[in-house]
Structure 1
Amino acid sequence: MDTLTQIALGACIGQAAFSNKLGRKAIVVGAVCGLLPDMDFLFSIGSDDFAYMATHRGLSHSVLLLPFFAVPIAWLAMKWGMWKDSTPDNPAGPSVGHFWTWYQLCLWALITHPLLDLFTTYGTQILTPLSNERFTLDGISIVDPVYTLPLVAAVIYGLVKPLQQNRFRLWAVSALIFSSLYLGLGLHNSWDARAALIEQLSSKDFNPTDVRASPTMFNILLWRVVAKDSDGRYAVGFFSTVARNSIQLHHYESESGELVDKALGSEQGKVLKWFSTDMLRAQVRESDKDGSPQVILTDMRFGFTFDPAASFFGGLFEFDERLNLSGAQMYSGDVENLEFSDEISSIWAKIWE
């Protein structure tokens, strides 16, 4: 999820489980560890957006590697904690010099980061280096204030009311329980939306080979549902777990041919296909500038209510007069024309319509 949420989750874990031993230092270290996995953007500095897509949520998000990464981080945290407790206003606690206490804090704050990311549609390589598969549970939006705000509120309370230790630990525990239940509700709603789409498609001439349900922005009530058949055709619509109306489906063809094969066969195309879990729609068109051929690959898992064919993620592949690939760049369709307020209004209307 977003950076603020990951920081708040790590801090809340430190506050709930370790503040009785480490004081407010547990909140600080938990927040830092909650942030650290997303520092993997450093791996792609100086490269293009495809390199970032290929490396983000990779090694730094592996549940197999994070227990090892936690060892040096915990040692540094322990040294910092012992140094901080050498001042008169920070009396040393009995656990400050215990490495095992710091290790548990760092491990839980680190490993819950990819586990939370797993619930989003973006995908997370939790089994790197044994597998580079992107796992996803499609249970929550990358940004969801209902999940985040209770965690943030609990952490702020713990920082401004440090003397009320039992109370601010209770706030943190309550926030973690609420957020966990919210994730469970998101999973339930995702399965519900997916089942609704499958049931509706069963009465139509569309035999899906893959069906996905992804939350729209900031909520777990309205879901973008996508089905793909063996011919590469897509059926896309939106399902409200509140209104529960019939899904209005939009159908899109995916083109094929030499240019599409070249785009998919390029390094950038392979990254997009892997990232999208093969939910790519291909379109061939002519450039508005000089009429040269172009291929657009669109990740159909993501999109907007005002234009179901538009997506956050995709690629634009350009060809020269000899039909050789001359360039590739990230492409987000009409995202740049998005009026944020209009999209939010549309989501709200579709939830209750």
Structure 2
Amino acid sequence: MDSLTQIVLGAAVGEAVLGRKVGNKAMLYGAIAGTIPDLDVLASHFTDTVTALSIHRGFTHSIIFSILFAVIFGWIISRFESYKSFKGWFSLFFWAFVTHPILDAHTTWGTQLFWPFDIRLAFKTIFVIDPLYTLPFLIFLILAMRHKRHTKKRRLYNNLGLLISTFYLVITFFLKWLAFTKFESALKEQNINYLKIDTRPSPLNTILWSANIETNDAYLLGNYSFFDTKPIRFEIYPKRHDLLGDLKTNEDVLRMIKTCEGWYTINKVNEDYYFNDLRFGLMSLEPNSENFVFKYKIIVNDNDKVQFEEVQKDRRDGKKLLTDLWKRLKGN
């Protein structure tokens, strides 16, 4: 999830664990702990694209990290804070650390919660930024901050924030199931044979859903809003995996394919080849658009080393997409 959401979650968890003992300091340390796992993004400045993508939400989003660094931070903070309980500070940091990847596991990218085991949890029930999740949570946290640490209202407001946000996460599973059944029915009605289907919410909401459908030689992409009155329409994107040629067996290419869980297409523009990660959809709702959210130029060096250079996004495309998504959300 986005940084603000993780700060709010961390602060609320910190308050729930040590609020009565240390007051607003519990929220402060919880908020700080809630952002620490995302420092893995700094890896992109020190390594290649494929490695940075493969380790993103890896070790720092694991249970092992949560335990290990809760011990470290718990010990450090207990040395100079007036509240000297190592157990209390350990609990605060552990729960602030571990709830971060648990929340991220609901997004499309997912997390390697059980690192070093090669298991990525990605429920794909909520977008990385969702106002319906964050804003109520933030409001109750602010209300809690306005009361003294021993008051019942402070604990009530903080607990309400945690309960409502958790309830919303549970609801997203039901919404995903409803969307999945709609896509499944549409494919059946249109006599489309497919290998597998993958669904996810569109940006900023859980009303409009997107689906990737794999067939033998192509992927179908479609959108469905709970306000739709017309049949779902699927756009066809040929896989073009054959364009990789001998690169199909290249180690870096195989790692990239694994990272995107096999959801990718290849296209050629002039003499350049591009790798498109389908998991996050398109930057446009226009039919047959090739403007994918994550698109990488494939560069082969003289020593046959393959590099992936991310194509920069145009902010104008992003603004137009949000406008188009709002219109599409209201139904077809």
TM-score (norm 2): 0.89
1:273 to 250, 254, 257: 257
Structure 2: runs of 5 or more not aligned: none
**Equivalent in the alignment of 2:109:** 122
Matched, 1:302 2:280: yes
- Code of the residue aligned with 1:284 in structure 2: it is K
Q: Using the alignment, how far apart are the partners of 2:126 and 2:181 within structure 1?
A: 17
**Equivalent in the alignment of 2:294:** 313
Matched, 1:111 2:98: yes
Asked whether the equivalents of residues 263 and 317 of structure 1 are also in contact (C-alpha less than 8 Å), the reply is no
**Residues 44, 346 of structure 1: CA spacing in aligned structure 2 closer, same or farther, 3 A cutoff?**
closer
**Equivalent in the alignment of 2:324:** 346
**Residues 232, 75 of structure 1: CA spacing in aligned structure 2 closer, same or farther, 3 A cutoff?**
farther
**5 Å matches for 1:79-98?**
79-82=79-82, 96-98=83-85
Q: Using the alignment, how far apart are the partners of 1:54 and 1:180 within structure 2?
A: 28
**Residues 206, 338 of structure 1: CA spacing in aligned structure 2 closer, same or farther, 3 A cutoff?**
farther
Asked whether the equivalents of residues 16 and 170 of structure 1 are also in contact (C-alpha less than 8 Å), the reply is no
Listed one character per residue, the Cα deviations across residues 204-229 of structure 1 (whole Å, up to 9, x for unaligned) are: 34322221111111111101111112
Asked whether the equivalents of residues 17 and 91 of structure 2 are also in contact (C-alpha less than 8 Å), the reply is no
Q: Using the alignment, how far apart are the partners of 2:101 and 2:262 within structure 1?
A: 22
Matched, 1:7 2:7: yes
How far is the alpha carbon of 1:319 from its aligned partner? 5.6
SS in 1 for 2:279: coil
- Code of the residue aligned with 1:299 in structure 2: it is D
**Residues 106, 327 of structure 1: CA spacing in aligned structure 2 closer, same or farther, 3 A cutoff?**
closer
**Residues 141, 244 of structure 1: CA spacing in aligned structure 2 closer, same or farther, 3 A cutoff?**
farther
Q: Using the alignment, how far apart are the partners of 1:340 and 1:26 within structure 2?
A: 37
Structure 1: runs of 5 or more not aligned: 83-95, 287-291
The aligned length equals 328
**Equivalent in the alignment of 2:223:** 238
Q: Using the alignment, how far apart are the partners of 1:126 and 1:99 within structure 2?
A: 25
How far is the alpha carbon of 1:115 from its aligned partner? 0.3
**Residues 158, 267 of structure 1: CA spacing in aligned structure 2 closer, same or farther, 3 A cutoff?**
farther
TM-score (norm 1): 0.84
**Residues 59, 244 of structure 1: CA spacing in aligned structure 2 closer, same or farther, 3 A cutoff?**
farther
**Equivalent in the alignment of 1:132:** 118
Q: Using the alignment, how far apart are the partners of 2:254 and 2:18 within structure 1?
A: 44
Matched, 1:223 2:201: no
Q: Using the alignment, how far apart are the partners of 1:264 and 1:55 within structure 2?
A: 22
Q: CA RMSD in A?
A: 2.5
**Equivalent in the alignment of 1:37:** 37
Listed one character per residue, the Cα deviations across residues 45-87 of structure 1 (whole Å, up to 9, x for unaligned) are: 32233332122101111124422321111112222422xxxxx
How far is the alpha carbon of 1:38 from its aligned partner? 0.8
How far is the alpha carbon of 1:160 from its aligned partner? 4.2
- Code of the residue aligned with 1:315 in structure 2: it is Y
